[in-house]
Amino acid sequence: MFPTVPPPAQRLLVFARLPERGKVKTRLAASIGDDAALEAYETMLRDLLASIGKSSPELEIEILWAPTESANGESLARAFKTRFGCTPTAWRAESASGRVKRLRSAQRRAASPDGNRGQFLRKQDQMQGTVDAQHDRSDQYFAEINMRVKVVDFPSTRVAFLRNVGPLGATVGKFWADTVFPWMAANGLSDRPRYGIGLDDPMTTEPAKLRYDACIEVPDGFVAKPPAGITVLPGGRYAVRSFKGTPATIGTAWMEVFRDWLPSSAMQMDSRPTIEYYPGGSTVDPKTGVFECELWVPVKPL
């Protein structure tokens, strides 16, 4: 008789993608960048593993990674042979008793300290250690976030706007440089406060259809000529986070507000759009691309 490993009472399968830049949270990355999207995904994955805990005799936890370029049919076939000692084709031709023997042999190898299960548990322990270390730093981190984010009441404001339709990111920067700034100079508005407003949700809207309004604060008597228009930004309460950096790093600052500050603030977003606010006279460093602005998230009590 072959010694067997008793199966667990329950098995939890976790389906996940490998945390690879440009391969996870791609719709979110369209608005915040690949690096910030990867950071958000890794954080979510670590929190998930921390919440489900470790495997036990009563519950076996196994992570199933989605196929990638490095996990193709050939590599999966090699993994199958490593685990069961034969190719998938040979397995299908195997007798029932032969399959049982191979399964029992695979169980013994997986349960050994050097087997796949032992390796998996060690990797999970390492991941848990990372999570614990992060939790130890969380109080200080969230205290810093709360200091960076303030809640303010903003009055309704009359603005002129020019609209761009297309992907966010570098395209928007080019729109400001090539279209908006020359229009502001031609109309004597170069020193006026500016607002950048994304009107569509990048999670649900195709990048080519994303609407972005570049707004300039104007006096009551100002008349805008096409292609510019006039509108009023809605007043109300906003969570405000100051930012200094480049377009490549602004996504991380947005994530601090949405992912870290908002869930613990006893507040929620409302239907007004988010706003990037640029004080009058603010500029962009032509050498580094560094600029300063404020990130405004419309909020209301839970």
Range of the domain at 223: 151-301
| Count of beta carbons in the 10 Å neighbourhood of residue 32 | 23
Token pair recorded at residue 268: 């929620």
If asked whether residues 27 and 56 sit together in one domain, one would say yes
The tens digit of pLDDT for each residue in 184-212 reads: 999 999 999 999 998 887 778 888 999 99
Cβ–Cβ < 8 Å for 175, 184: no
Q: Which of 87, 106, 136 is the last residue of a domain?
A: 136
Report if residue 172 sits inside a domain. yes
Query: Does residue 99 have a pLDDT over 70?
Result: no
pLDDT of residue 83: 66
Q: What is the pLDDT of residue 28?
A: 75
Q: Measured between alpha carbons, how far is 214 from 161 in angstroms, rounded to an integer?
A: 5
Q: Tell me: do 113 and 213 sit in the same domain.
A: no
Q: How far apart are CA 172 and CA 175, in angstroms?
A: 5
* Token pair in block for residue 146: 């709360």
Q: For residue 222, what are its two tokens?
A: 């100002």
221-274 pLDDT tens trace: 999 999 999 999 989 999 999 898 887 788 788 888 887 788 778 888 888 888
- In a shared domain, residues 66 and 203: no
Instruction: Provide, rounded to the nearest whole percent, the portion of the chain with pLDDT above 70.
Output: 72
**168 & 96 share domain:** no
Q: Is the pLDDT of residue 292 over 50?
A: yes
Query: Does residue 187 lie in a domain region?
Result: yes
Alpha-carbon separation of residue 37 from 31, 191, 264 (angstroms): 9, 34, 21
Domain C-terminal end among 136, 162, 182: 136
Q: What's the mean pLDDT in 100-105?
A: 67
User: Is 144 contained in some domain?
Assistant: no
pTM (two decimals): 0.54
Is 273 inside any structural domain? yes
* 131 in the same domain as 22: yes
How confident is the prediction for the chain on average, in pLDDT?
Answer: 77
For the ranges 24-28, 30-34, 97-101, 176-180, the lowest mean pLDDT is seen at 97-101
Q: What is the pLDDT of residue 43?
A: 78
Q: What is the pLDDT at residue 136?
A: 45
The verdict on 166 and 53 lying in the same domain is no
- Per the domain annotation, does 3 fall within a domain? no
164, part of any domain = yes
Domain co-membership, 66 together with 161: no
- 93-97, 212-216, 246-250: which has the minimum mean pLDDT? 93-97
DSSP string, 34-74: HHHHHHHHHHHHHHHHHHH----SSEEEEEEEPP-TTS-HH
According to the model, what pLDDT value does residue 13 have?
77
Does residue 166 register a pLDDT over 80?
A: yes
pLDDT in tens, 105-154: 765 665 555 555 555 445 555 555 554 454 444 444 444 555 578 999 99
Residue 129 lies in a domain: yes
Most confident of 8-12, 55-59, 150-154, 250-254: 150-154
Rounded to whole angstroms, the Cα distance separating 154 from 298 reads 10
pLDDT of residue 184: 95
CATH number, domain with residue 281: 3.20.80.10
* 117 and 206 inside one domain: no
- In the predicted structure, residue 70 carries a pLDDT above the cut 50: yes
135 within 8 A of 174, measured Cβ to Cβ:
no
Shared domain check, 211 and 112: no
Residue 20 has a pLDDT of 80
Same domain, 160 and 125: no
* Same structural domain, 114 and 215: no
Q: Where a domain ends, among 109, 136, 163?
A: 136
More confident residue, 88 or 164: 164
Distance CA 32, CA 255 (A): 8
Number of folded domains in the chain?
A: 2
Residue range 31-51: average pLDDT?
78
> Would residue 253 count as lying in a domain?
yes
Same-domain check for residues 282 and 162: yes
